[in-house]
Amino acid sequence: MPPNLLGHVQRSRTALARGALTALLLLALAPARTWADEPAAEPTTPPGAGLTPPPAVDPPATPPASLPPTQPEPPQPPPEVAPAPVENNVHSVGVTLSFSTGAGFAYRRQWGATSLQLAAFGVVTDRGNSTLVSGGAQVAQRLHVWHGPTRGLLPATSALRVLAGLSYFLNRSVTNDSVPLGGILNNTICTAQNGCVATVTTNSSYFNGGAGLGFEFGAIDRPGVSMTLDVVLTAALKDGSFSFLLPLPQLAVLYNW
């Protein structure tokens, strides 16, 4: 190759190498200058950051619901007062009429709701030739006592009771039988001139017993008059032999204290 051309080629290569090196330097330095020249980016903050929030405001109070108009309270009944304990009577006297538990004058002794009644009666007629005697006893138990206002003829206090009792009745009569002379009296021939007279005594007796149910009205738990009315299933023995079995009424009027 001619020396001139070789020198020209070398110079061209050197120029190209310098140009390439210059281009590389420019490319390398251009981003740094761009970044250095750009202003620093401000930190981004959310809108409203750093502001003091307004004080919380309570929601308006809900007005209370309107209440219905108050109704006046109905008057209250007075408190119930426990009834005073029953003050039972202790003694009673009166009269009773009963084939089952005795007839005549009566005396009754009470222990609370339980009572024992005794009855007796006696009468003598026909100058002592006829005698009637009766006696009896009964035990009664009150089951329930009612207290209330008086209604018509019914008293304010009444009681249901059960009872049982015995009675004895004796009827004795004396008669004089006479037969003429020669007649027979008590299996004996009369030899008296004016006839014979014999005294004949006749006894008739009842022994009774029974139980029943009844009521007492009136002064049961206070002094006063009361009346008993009962029905008693009665068995009767006449002169030691069974006579009948019947429900019989009985009545008594007593003064209690």
- Whether the Cβ atoms of residue 149 and residue 172 lie closer than 8 Å to each other: no
With beta carbons less than 8 A apart as the criterion, state whether 121 and 107 touch: no
Residues of the chain with pLDDT under 70: 1-9, 26-71, 78-87, 150-154, 194
pLDDT at 140: 97
Per-residue model confidence as pLDDT tens digits over 34-82: 544 555 555 555 555 555 656 665 665 565 555 566 667 777 776 665 5
Which tokens in the block code for residue 257?
């204290």
Q: What is the pLDDT of residue 247?
A: 97
- pLDDT for position 164: 98
Domain membership flag for residue 185 = no
- For residue 217, being part of any structural domain is answered with yes
Is 251 part of a structural domain of the chain? yes
Q: Which pLDDT belongs to residue 222?
A: 87
CA gap 27, 24 in Å, rounded:
5
Q: Around 49, how many Cα atoms within 13 Å sit in the side-chain half-sphere?
A: 5
d(CA 104, CA 97): 6
Report the number of distinct structural domains present in the chain.
1
Residue 47: the pLDDT is: 54
Domain that holds residue 103: 91-126+133-170+209-256
Sequence-separated (6 or more) residues with CB below 8 Å from residue 183: 189, 190, 195, 196
Q: Is residue 221 part of a domain?
A: yes
Question: Is residue 113 situated within a structural domain?
Answer: yes
Q: What is residue 85's predicted lDDT score, i.e. its pLDDT? A: 47
**What is the radius of gyration, based on Cα positions, of the chain?**
67
**Residue-level pLDDT at 241:** 95
Residue 44 lies in a domain: no
